[in-house]
Structure formats: C-alpha cells, structure tokens
C-alpha cells in the first residue's frame, strides 16, 4: 500500500501524520486490498470558521476508487469524520464485491 499524506497551506506534523495512519488502520482492518492512499489536509481562508479545515482522501482499491472529504473547525475532528465516511464506503465496496462473487448465475428461459 502506497500512503501519501500531504498538506496544503499547512505543514503536516509528525503527530498529525501518526494520527492519520492510526485512523487508516481501521480501514485496512476491514479491507486489506488497498493499492494507493492519498490524504490531503488543507486549511482554507473561508469566512465560515466552522468549515475552514478540510481533510480529503482518495483510496484506490482493487476495482474501484473511493473518495471522501470532510470539513470542520478542528482538523482532528475532520480526520475522524473523514475516516468514518471512508469506512462506510469501503465496507459497502467489500460487500458488493463479496455478493457479486457468490451470486448464482442467472438462468435464461
């Protein structure tokens, strides 16, 4: 798995980097066929202070790309919300993949 954590208008500290990697462990626990993970942490200069800090993630899994983003006034809370969204999407992708393999062939009459 290739992991890229980058910041836009922000220096990614070692504490923030380790926080993101520990949160990504939950996703790899559900689905271990991750090919590429790109996390982008940004601080925007918006008038809305509640959604100033944003976290985005693009995950390439076998057969699909999963993208999620989250905005919050706290970057750690944005990362938490982002990982919850990604977890739901990865579980959905995994269940689709498993159901597709186990469906019996349809018979045409």
Question: Domains of the chain (ranges plus CATH)?
Answer: 2-102 (3.30.160.100)
Confidence of residue 4 (pLDDT cuts 50, 70, 90): very high
List the beta strands (DSSP E) in 9-85. Answer: 34-43, 53-61, 64-72
101 has a pLDDT exceeding 70: no
Structure confidence by residue, pLDDT tens digits, 40-91: 999 987 676 667 899 999 999 887 899 999 999 899 999 999 999 999 998 8
What letter would DSSP give residue 32? -
Position 104 scores a pLDDT of: 64
As a whole number of angstroms, the distance between CA 23 and CA 48 comes to 27
- Is pLDDT above 70 for 102? no
pLDDT at residue 14 greater than cutoff 70: yes
Cβ neighbors of 80 (< 8 A, separation 6 or more) are: 23
Question: CA 18 to CA 9: how far, in whole Å?
Answer: 19
Q: Which residue has the tokens 């790309």?
A: 65
Range 34-73 burial, b when 16+ CB lie within 10 A, else e: beebebbbbeeeeeeeeebbbbbbbbbbeeeebebbbbbe
The reported pLDDT for the residue numbered 109 is 64
- Return the pLDDT at 45: 79
Question: Contact at 8 Å (CB) between 78 and 53?
Answer: yes
């Amino acid at each position: 798995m290739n992991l890229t954590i980058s910041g836009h208008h922000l220096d990614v500290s070692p504490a923030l980097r380790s926080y993101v990697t520990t949160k990504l462990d939950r996703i790899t626990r559900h689905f271990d066929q991750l090919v590429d993970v790109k996390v982008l942490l940004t601080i925007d200069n918006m008038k809305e202070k509640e959604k100033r800090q944003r976290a985005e993630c693009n995950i390439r899994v076998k057969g699909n790309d999963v993208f999620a983003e989250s905005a919050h006034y706290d970057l750690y809370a944005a990362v938490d919300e982002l990982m919850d969204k990604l977890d739901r999407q990865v579980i959905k992708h995994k269940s689709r993949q498993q159901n597709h393999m186990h469906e019996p062939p349809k018979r045409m009459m």
